[in-house]
Amino acid sequence: MVDGKYVLWIEGDDGTWEGVEGAGDLRFLNHSRSPNVFFDGLDLYALRDISPGEELLFDYGEDWSDTP
């Protein structure tokens, strides 16, 4: 998080990286090695049915460190 904004980096099909900045809905995505959502480009998809109020979990990838 930078200045209250969240940035999510997504690798495109061509190997380039695109940053998605958001002060809104991106704040609801959290890291998990057992995700329930995934990105295809900039589109977010559920891996299974997600209940109302359930946390959205996304695997940040191999380079992500769980250490604060």
pLDDT truncated to tens, each residue of the chain (68 aa)? 445 555 566 666 676 655 555 555 666 778 899 999 998 877 889 999 999 989 999 887 776 555 44
Cα–Cα distance measured from residue 16 to residue 2, given in angstroms and rounded to the nearest whole number: 22
Q: What is the per-residue DSSP string for the chain?
A: -BTTBEEEEEE-TTS-EEEEEESSGGGGEEE-SS-SEEEETTEEEESS---TTPPEEE---TT--S--
Does residue 4 contact residue 27 with C-beta atoms inside 8 Å?
no
Cα–Cα distance measured from residue 68 to residue 62, given in angstroms and rounded to the nearest whole number: 16
